[in-house]
Homo-oligomer: A and B are copies of this chain.
């Protein structure tokens, strides 16, 4: 790399290398691609970073990312504000919205409890969730955190916090993926799939 002696190029490659899941070779490929773009398109790319960073912030209600004070989901008259689906990240909201099934609202925690990484309730938007429920009430809180140790712990933690309020707290189902084969499912998932069986 140093054989290039082209500092701006090295720096651009390094910037791409810092992105999650992008290794040295991919970073090079991306940097060269950007260099090959017409001037105005490279500028549009850079501007989109600055612009998104400047305008995107958390919805004051559900903490999802938005460019308005209240996000479109929270401000939609068609969404049921009394059902709150708690997720770890904005990407989880996107995934659930793609199902076109859910018409309640969300609450984005921006992470999951992880004592080893120093992530406690204060690093998440747990306080905002409690305040929101106290202020607006809720008929059901659906815990849709990931099926990881951290996601489970977070779901349990929030369920316990909410229990004095007598609000039903549910957890999304575990099981084998649709189209997935039993052969490749791990034993814990299979056990949960058995436990969660329902009558046909």
Contact = CB atoms under 8 A, between A and B. Distances in A.
A4 B49 contact: no
A66 interface: yes
A123 interface: no
Interface in A10-52: 11-12, 14-15, 19-22, 26, 28-35, 37, 39, 42-52
Q: How many copies does the complex hold?
A: 2
Contacts of A21: 26, 29
Please classify the interface of chain A as helix (H, G, I), strand (E, B), loop, or mixed, using the class held by over half of its residues.
helix
Given A29-B21, A91-B32, A5 B49 contact: no
A56 interface: yes
A91 B29 CA distance: 8
Contact of A90 (B32, B53, B66): B32
Contacts of A127: none
Interface stretch (A67-75, A129-137, A172-180): A67-75
B56 A49 contact: no
A39 to B, nearest CB: 6
A102 to B, nearest CB: 10
B15 A48 contact: yes
A49 B46 contact: yes
Contacts of A80: none
A8 interface: yes
Interface in A74-107: 89-91, 93-94, 97
Given A5-B71, A45-B49, 5 more contacts: A3-B72, A3-B93, A6-B66, A12-B52, A42-B49
Interface of A: 1, 3-9, 11-12, 14-15, 19-22, 26, 28-35, 37, 39, 42-56, 64-68, 71-73, 89-91, 93-94, 97
